[in-house]
């Protein structure tokens, strides 16, 4: 199995909805991990957006028409059944398909997507925005021996020598200057992502694992919106609602796995298709509210680890 780290840098706020309204401070909350209560982008969201974008990455017009016809028929069986079977579909053969027709076959996909979790999140301070992370997250990203705060009151800063205190949002904490490691994207990464990760490293703050969830959840965006009455063009009555979003500048780390054991001969084609589709999906936007300016990502798929 080839495991490729996947970096997602939010160019816009990101709203991956939890599904339905909630009672509480926010009507439409974003999806969180069940164990940590930290926002994440589920692998299913990345996979769905990538599969949809993959239709547009096919260079051959005939293949693109076949893939679009098969996808439309899977979604709505009332549409004309495509003449070709799923095995011949260049997108379905990579992402997998199930027996949707009599005598049809099923096959797992060559590629699987893991959840993308927050690696660093921007937080306002008296010195401007700083990106918070933890030693555990840095180790998970491949950094060796990052310094680990001894308590929730202590933080480590990149640079700012001599500074003894720093606020993270509404918290004022004891600060200490250290040289903090941070992963570097590969040479093929988009220039926007390279510059963003360099900026994050210069402004990095390492906090205690116990403090990180509180900092993240207290520094999410909460926005207010209203539904429009299409007859009047004005705000509809009793249609005011609020929703959460992870701020722009958030860096996520996920992974994409390619099954080179069962699909050894086809894996190079699959990787090329998926990598191109990931960039298109990032440009179009992940999650909801994309028509309101949400969801654009700078995407980079690293070499296999």
Q: What is the mean pLDDT of residues 74-86?
A: 63
Per-residue confidence at 251, pLDDT binned at 50, 70, 90? Answer: very high
- pTM (predicted TM-score): 0.89
Percent of the chain's residues with pLDDT above 70: 90
Where a domain ends, among 183, 218, 253? 218
Q: What is the mean pLDDT of residues 230-258?
A: 88
What region, left, alpha or beta, does residue 233 occupy, with left being phi > 0 and alpha being psi -120 to 50 degrees? left
Question: Both 179 and 148 in a single domain?
Answer: yes
Question: Both 134 and 204 in a single domain?
Answer: yes
Q: How many domains does the chain have?
A: 2
Question: Would residue 53 count as lying in a domain?
Answer: yes
Question: Both 101 and 132 in a single domain?
Answer: no
Question: Both 75 and 147 in a single domain?
Answer: no
Question: Would residue 67 count as lying in a domain?
Answer: yes
Question: Both 164 and 209 in a single domain?
Answer: yes
Question: Both 131 and 108 in a single domain?
Answer: no
Answer yes or no: is pLDDT of 10 > 70: yes
Where a domain ends, among 218, 248, 276? 218
* Lowest-pLDDT choice from 90-99, 133-142, 280-289: 90-99
Per-residue confidence at 108, pLDDT binned at 50, 70, 90? Answer: confident
Question: Both 153 and 89 in a single domain?
Answer: no
Tokens linked to 18: 């939890």
Determine the structural domain holding residue 63 and report its residue range: 2-7+45-113+261-301
Phi, psi values for residue 2, rounded to 5°? -95, 115
What region, left, alpha or beta, does residue 20 occupy, with left being phi > 0 and alpha being psi -120 to 50 degrees? left
Question: Both 109 and 159 in a single domain?
Answer: no
Per-residue confidence at 186, pLDDT binned at 50, 70, 90? Answer: confident
Mean pLDDT score of the chain, rounded to an integer?
A: 87
Question: Would residue 35 count as lying in a domain?
Answer: no
CA 88 to CA 94: how far, in whole Å? 11
């Amino acid at each position: 199995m080839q495991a490729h780290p996947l970096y997602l840098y939010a160019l816009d706020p990101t709203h991956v909805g939890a599904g339905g309204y909630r009672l509480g401070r926010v009507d439409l909350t974003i999806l969180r991990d069940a164990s940590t209560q930290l926002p994440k982008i589920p692998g299913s969201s990345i996979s769905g957006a990538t599969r949809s974008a993959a239709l547009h990455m096919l260079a051959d017009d005939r293949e693109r028409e076949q893939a679009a016809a098969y996808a439309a028929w899977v979604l709505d069986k009332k549409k004309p059944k495509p003449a070709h079977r799923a095995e011949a579909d260049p997108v379905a053969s990579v992402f997998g398909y199930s027996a949707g027709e009599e005598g049809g076959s099923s096959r797992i996909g060559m590629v699987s997507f893991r959840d993308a979790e927050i690696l660093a999140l921007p937080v306002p301070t008296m010195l401007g925005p700083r990106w918070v992370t933890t030693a555990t997250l840095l180790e998970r990203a491949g950094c060796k021996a990052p310094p680990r705060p001894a308590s929730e009151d202590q933080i480590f800063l990149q640079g700012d020598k001599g500074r003894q205190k720093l606020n993270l949002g509404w918290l004022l904490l004891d600060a200490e200057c250290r040289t903090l490691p941070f992963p570097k994207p590969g040479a093929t990464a988009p220039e926007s992502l390279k510059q963003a990760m360099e900026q994050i490293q210069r402004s990095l703050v390492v906090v205690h694992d116990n403090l990180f969830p509180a900092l993240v959840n207290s520094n999410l965006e909460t926005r207010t919106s209203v539904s429009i009455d299409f007859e009047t063009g004005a705000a509809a009555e009793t249609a005011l609602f609020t929703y959460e979003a992870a701020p722009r500048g958030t860096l996520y780390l996920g992974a994409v796995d390619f099954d080179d054991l069962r699909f050894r001969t086809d894996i190079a084609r699959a990787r090329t298709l998926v990598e191109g589709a990931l960039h298109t999906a990032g440009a179009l936007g992940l999650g909801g509210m994309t028509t309101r300016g949400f969801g654009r990502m700078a995407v980079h798929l690293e070499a296999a680890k």
